[in-house]
Amino acid sequence: MHTQSWHSVSTTLDECIKCNICTSYCPVAAVTDKFPGPKYVGPQAQRFRASVQTHSPDHSVDYCSACRVCNEVCPTGVRIAEINARAKAQIVAERGIPLRNWFFGRNEILGRIGNLAPQIANLGFHNPFSRFMAEKIMGVARHAPIPHWATGGSFTTWFRRTQSARLKSDKKVVYFHGCSTNYYEPAVGQAAVMVLERNGFEVIVPPQNCCGLPMLNNGEFPAAKNLYQNNLTKLLPFADKGYPIVGTSTSCVLVLREEASEMLDLENDHTQRFKNAVWDMSEFLRDLHDRGELDTEFRDLQMVLPYHVSCQVRAHRMGRPSLDVMTLIPGLDVREGDAKCCGLAGTYGYKAEKYDIAMKVGQEAFRFVDAQAGASFVTADSEICRWQLQHGTQKKGRAPVEILAAAYGLFDLEKRQLKNP
Ligand code: SF4
Ligand code: SF4
Ligand code: SF4
């Protein structure tokens, strides 16, 4: 059984003892004067935010990156990041959402449109002139590591195309791929399918939607609610059949399992049954190993591999399942970093006014990765972290499940593709 939240957001506000520990750990407050820190914009300002008031007391909350470091260190369990997210939603309700943030929230739609003609989309979005114009007109940081569309087709297209060759088994799992795997990094999903099949599971990929994280982080709660409810309708029947729902994006998993229903006040029997079925991929594999059911016939992988701990992994309170599983691979020298945050934080570092902050926050993680002599790859459970670390270090980002698929001899890490597609 995986972990679940133990504190509801609204009841934690009064637990603040004003110790300021959160402020001393906040990676954003440490690098910019524009953000006064978690205590100030969180529990303190929240006392002045009534649902009926038309003016929010502190708009600097917009500079909170939602990294959740404050939640982790708060000695009394105040859910500061979630309080901040609700404050952003209140500001959006008062003032409307900037066009740029509206677009950021629709990454599923953008992914689908770009996937129609990925070469053209990449050319259109990823040339110096369009990035310059996007920064000037929309405020999208021109140097930020926005991903490229996969030119070989989406993950779901590949899955449908190879359906007849897929393993059939009594042991079934549902795979939640999320938008980034589907449209930008289908290799991650392919590796996940291979790893699950290697362990005897039939993989089901039902229709699904974006988890809603970009909308939650940008204060668009009603739209995020629609997405969450769509996912609930599509996936709860599988949960009710007893099928685990496994995701490779730890940030999507956190939203499905915890954040969305809490922040959107959707706690009920349906959401509880759904949440109980949702697993992070590495956590699921570690659980298999604990039960003696994980295939550990790994090949030797002689390499140094820096591992950045994504904030969402910490927020899950599930330990370090990716490390636990990767350390089973002979020859692999996985090294855990202790940087608080890579800085990108969802869509935060894509915003022109926040890009420099994100890069400053990321320095600690970049230094750690660069210090691991001999490493050519870097891994992290969140794709956003991998993109930022690639951007800040020039190392190639790979998901833990790609490392595992390579150790099973099924995946080429260098070419980033299955050995037998
Ligand atoms: S760490 Fe927690 S208790 Fe201390 S000031 Fe921050 S919110 Fe309040
Ligand atoms: S979520 Fe991160 S950026 Fe926001 S207040 Fe907490 S520590 Fe600071
Ligand atoms: S980008 Fe990575 S390190 Fe940064 S906030 Fe997100 S998960 Fe955390």
Per-residue pLDDT, 219: 87
Q: How far is CA 230 from CA 156, 189, 211, 226, in A?
A: 18, 21, 9, 6
Per-residue pLDDT, 89: 86
Ligand 1 centroid to Cα of residue 29, in Å, is 14
What confidence category does residue 188 fall into, taking pLDDT thresholds of 50, 70 and 90?
A: very high
Cα–Cα distance for residue pair 311/320, rounded to 1 Å? 11
The tokens 């689908």 sit on which residue? 112
Lowest mean pLDDT among 20-24, 73-77, 104-108, 183-187: 104-108
Cα–Cα distance for residue pair 275/260, rounded to 1 Å? 10
What are residue 279's phi and psi, to 5 degrees? -130, 145
- Mind giving me the DSSP string for 84-129? HHHHHHHHHHHH---HHHHHHHTHHHHHHHHHHSHHHHHHHHSSHH
Flag whether pLDDT at 67 surpasses 60: yes
Indicate which residue's Cα is closest to atom 2 of ligand 2.
Answer: 67
Q: State the pTM of this model.
A: 0.92
The number of the ligand nearest the C-alpha atom of 22 reads: 1
Per cent of the chain over pLDDT 90 is: 75
Specify the ligand 3 atom closest to the Cα of 365: 3
What confidence category does residue 169 fall into, taking pLDDT thresholds of 50, 70 and 90?
A: very high
Lowest mean pLDDT among 47-61, 225-239, 305-319: 47-61
Per-residue pLDDT, 6: 42
Per-residue pLDDT, 59: 78
What is the C-alpha radius of gyration for the chain, rounded to an integer number of angstroms?
Answer: 21
The tokens 């990823």 sit on which residue? 126
Closest CA to 280 of 260, 255, 262, 297: 255
Per-residue pLDDT, 63: 94
Indicate which residue's Cα is closest to atom 6 of ligand 3.
Answer: 345
Q: How far is CA 318 from CA 143, 250, 337, 376, in A?
A: 34, 11, 17, 28
Q: How far is CA 290 from CA 278, 283, 286, 295, in A?
A: 18, 10, 6, 12
Ligand 2 centroid to Cα of residue 169, in Å, is 44
Per-residue pLDDT, 402: 98
> How many beta carbons lie within 10 A of that of residue 269, not counting itself?
7
Cα–Cα distance for residue pair 118/152, rounded to 1 Å? 8
What residues pair up with 292 in beta bridges, in sequence order? none
Flag whether pLDDT at 355 surpasses 90: yes
Specify the ligand 3 atom closest to the Cα of 384: 1
User: Can you tell me the mean pLDDT for 355-375?
Assistant: 97
Ligand 2 centroid to Cα of residue 79, in Å, is 11
Flag whether pLDDT at 149 surpasses 90: yes
Specify the ligand 3 atom closest to the Cα of 66: 5
Q: From 58, 68, 74, 254, give the residue whose CB has the most ligand 2 atoms within 8 Å, as the site to mutate.
A: 68
Give kind and range of the element (H or E) at residue 305.
strand 303-308
Per-residue pLDDT, 323: 97
Closest CA to 357 of 20, 26, 21, 101: 26
Flag whether pLDDT at 10 surpasses 80: no
Specify the ligand 1 atom closest to the Cα of 23: 6
Per-residue pLDDT, 54: 58
Specify the ligand 1 atom closest to the Cα of 80: 7
Ligand 1 centroid to Cα of residue 340, in Å, is 17
What confidence category does residue 93 fall into, taking pLDDT thresholds of 50, 70 and 90?
A: confident
Indicate which residue's Cα is closest to atom 5 of ligand 3.
Answer: 345
Find the residues whose C-beta lies inside 6 A of ligand 2: 26, 28-29, 38, 64-70, 80-81, 84
User: Can you tell me the mean pLDDT for 290-295?
Assistant: 98
Closest CA to 380 of 327, 334, 415: 334
Cα–Cα distance for residue pair 156/346, rounded to 1 Å? 23
Ligand 3 centroid to Cα of residue 319, in Å, is 16
User: Can you tell me the mean pLDDT for 311-316?
Assistant: 87
The tokens 């110096």 sit on which residue? 128
User: What are the CB-based long-range contacts (under 8 Å, 24+) for 108-112?
Assistant: 108/179, 108/209, 108/210, 111/149, 111/154, 111/179, 111/180, 111/182, 111/183, 111/184, 112/183
Residue pLDDT, tens place only, 301-312: 999 999 999 998
Q: Report helix, strand and coil shares of the chain as percent, to nearest 5.
A: 50, 10, 40
Per cent of the chain over pLDDT 70 is: 95
Ligand 2 centroid to Cα of residue 52, in Å, is 26
Between β-strands 332-336 and 303-308, what pairing exists: parallel, antiparallel or unpaired?
A: parallel
Flag whether pLDDT at 57 surpasses 70: no
Q: Which two tokens stand for residue 286?
A: 């570690």
Ligand 2 centroid to Cα of residue 320, in Å, is 21
Find the residues whose C-beta lies inside 6 A of ligand 3: 67, 310-312, 341-346, 382, 384-385, 388
Flag whether pLDDT at 389 surpasses 50: yes
Find the residues whose C-beta lies inside 6 A of ligand 1: 16-22, 38-39, 42-43, 74, 76, 78, 80
Give kind and range of the element (H or E) at residue 405.
helix 400-407
Cα–Cα distance for residue pair 244/32, rounded to 1 Å? 42
Ligand 2 centroid to Cα of residue 42, in Å, is 9
Per-residue pLDDT, 5: 47
Q: Round the average pLDDT of the chain to a whole number and report it.
A: 92
What confidence category does residue 50 fall into, taking pLDDT thresholds of 50, 70 and 90?
A: low
Per-residue pLDDT, 170: 97
